[in-house]
Amino acid sequence: MSRNASASLSSVTESSTLSSLWTRAITANSSWPDKEEFLDVIYWLRQGLGVAIGLVWGLLAIQGAIGLVLFALLNAGVIYVYFSAFQSVDEEEYGGAWELTKEGFMTSFATFMVMWIILYTGLHFD
């Protein structure tokens, strides 16, 4: 097989795998034969939450510890509801509910802080 055909086949396979992963992520009670894929979904969902919550907090001019606590509660709550109610996974397969709840939290927190600080500073300071 030529190098271009092999690269093209690899690209198609990755695209269909990503499409399948995305479909399972937004479908309730999906099957997750590969634990790493589900952890990747949790990680990237959390990153999206960090960006979205940071934008909202910056627009609403939320300040201080209240913003930090609300972010932590909202972020952990949404993830917990996602894996326990929406996907109905067995938490023990992943090391317990705490392991899933903290998956990717610190990077999400950093993303949230950057978005919150930049937007708040840009909109509410002269």
Instruction: Specify the residue for token string 């399972």.
Output: 24
DSSP H helices, 27-124, are 35-60, 64-81, 97-102, 105-124
Distance CA 24, CA 50 (A): 22
Residue 119: per-residue pLDDT: 95
Digit-coded pLDDT (tens) for 8-30: 545 545 555 777 888 888 888 88
The token pair at 125 is 């300071």
Digit-coded pLDDT (tens) for 32-68: 888 889 999 999 999 999 999 999 999 999 999 999 9
Digit-coded pLDDT (tens) for 75-113: 999 999 999 999 988 888 888 889 998 899 999 999 999
Distance CA 108, CA 72 (A): 10
Residue 108: per-residue pLDDT: 96
Query: 3-class SS at 1?
Result: coil
